[in-house]
Structure 1
């Protein structure tokens, strides 16, 4: 997440927002199921199906966020932050599953078109419930940037797919009602399924990358590089340099490892003071960052790429 995330209310924590997401999902399930029941639209059925996934996703995300907030222990000395990636991956798989279900229902209706009834009420209920999801998604995106929570971001992205689902459904139903082409309802559902399938695959991919210790985002890396350069410039020319700077992400936490080279005749106190300043500077520039800095004399190189360790 961006280090310049917007401020957030103390109430807007991942747990509170995910509870809210679950409550909104229950409301939207009721509204969209009613919309489908009175209209008979397969598009509105697909919309209602995705709301069930919203509820399941919010509850699983809530469980994973709870695990991720546990403190480090002997078995997990780096914490439990990666638990959030299981949440986003699970949510992505659910989205893919829903898209397959929509394809099946829409394909059946495409072959056997049926008249749509009570179009006005069906569309009104769908639009209202999607408005709730859109507002909640906007709040969750902002909170996800503050808390650097991929679980919260995944749930927000899922809510956005729900909004797009409703947009496609509204277009399809309105088109079918105005033209009499009943197949437009099913065609809109298929287009919606393709859109949310893409979103689900992207979520699964991002989760897999997080579990594989991917590097921090480019803007975060640029902030780290700029901070290190500031410390180089405050020292005598050539006295200090950084190398082997590597980063990784683990849910809300971000890590950076590096070597700090300095003159061999510096006292241990002087070296430790500079290292402490660098650590504080990095953590101030990038909230949630944890830095590990190894001190080395200027004329000593570390051999971390030993051939025997490269498989």
Structure 2
């Protein structure tokens, strides 16, 4: 993850330099749009660099649950940068729509955009590898930027060709407006995912069902209830109650919980698991929010239940 952030900052800085030179020579607003995007991508990558360093810090006495929420906070910062660049780009493209200008030195602009595509492809492939290994939201958000950059760079090449070779001067601002629209969509996507993490959204339904299946696969587990899950950066948190035979010893209940926990950790290696043991059949237990009740393997072992309020 650290190497991905370093590489992202390095590639972004290099692209800023070459695009700045090309924009000065061509005066293309579409090329300006990619320059702005690369600048903000680099700023966002710097934010990512510090956020990832913080998120990877182990838990301490002041942060018992770790520092994982630094990642979604960085995601919100990135979405703000991206949205701001899109608004600026809309203004620049709007002016060029009313006062179209010919694009100069188009071959230089095309060469710079081709170079940008090659550099960005290498970065995107490495980021994709890191995301598969870690599931990092911060790296995923950065990856989204640069995947968008690939499409933008290709659009700019088309825009430069249409403007310089065919005299279609409106192509430049039209492509810039299209890029601005994509930037707004990207900003909204990143912000939405970041807010889910900050608000402790539950794991996906398929993961919650998998947790229930792992618990119920143990022969001594009657049922589970009060399953709560959330994520904070790379760290996941799973909390649940196991319903066990009320006549077993505390030591045996502890052994069963350890065995269930081992199964959960194998399936969710980045998760912190907390399990509470309850005697089966003592009171009604439901998921406190959606009322979901997890079915047992053997219906004959299910104990009639009363409502929590009773």
Q: TM-score range by the shorter chain?
A: 0.7 to 0.9
Provide runs of 4+ in structure 1 moved above 4 Å: 302-306
Mapping of residues 103-122 of structure 1, within 5 Å:
103-122=90-109
Does residue 64 in structure 1 map to residue 46 in structure 2? no
SS in 2 for 1:266: coil
Structure 1 partner of 2:299: none
Contact between 2:225 and 2:285, CA under 8 Å: does it hold in 1?
Answer: no
SS in 1 for 2:247: coil
Structure 1 partner of 2:84: 97
Structure 2 vs 1, CA of residues 299 and 221 (structure 1 numbering), >3 Å: closer, same or farther?
A: closer
Structure 2 vs 1, CA of residues 139 and 219 (structure 1 numbering), >3 Å: closer, same or farther?
A: farther
After TM superposition, the structure 1 stretch with the greater mean CA deviation from structure 2, 277-286 or 134-143, is 134-143
- Scaled by the length of structure 1, what TM-score is found? 0.88
Does residue 125 in structure 1 map to residue 112 in structure 2? yes
Aligned counterparts of 2:48 and 2:226: Cα–Cα separation in 1: 35
Structure 2 vs 1, CA of residues 36 and 219 (structure 1 numbering), >3 Å: closer, same or farther?
A: farther
Q: CA RMSD in A?
A: 1.8
- Scaled by the length of structure 2, what TM-score is found? 0.88
Mapping of residues 13-32 of structure 1, within 5 Å:
14-32=1-19
Contact between 2:113 and 2:154, CA under 8 Å: does it hold in 1?
Answer: no
Structure 1: unaligned runs, 5 residues or longer: 1-13, 307-311
Asked which structure has the greater RCO (Cα within 8 Å, sep 6+), the reply is 1
Q: How many corresponding residue pairs?
A: 288
Aligned counterparts of 2:155 and 2:206: Cα–Cα separation in 1: 34
Aligned counterparts of 1:218 and 1:109: Cα–Cα separation in 2: 48
Cα offset for 1:28? 0.7
1:262 to 219, 236, 244: 244
Structure 2: unaligned runs, 5 residues or longer: 290-310
Structure 1 partner of 2:40: 53
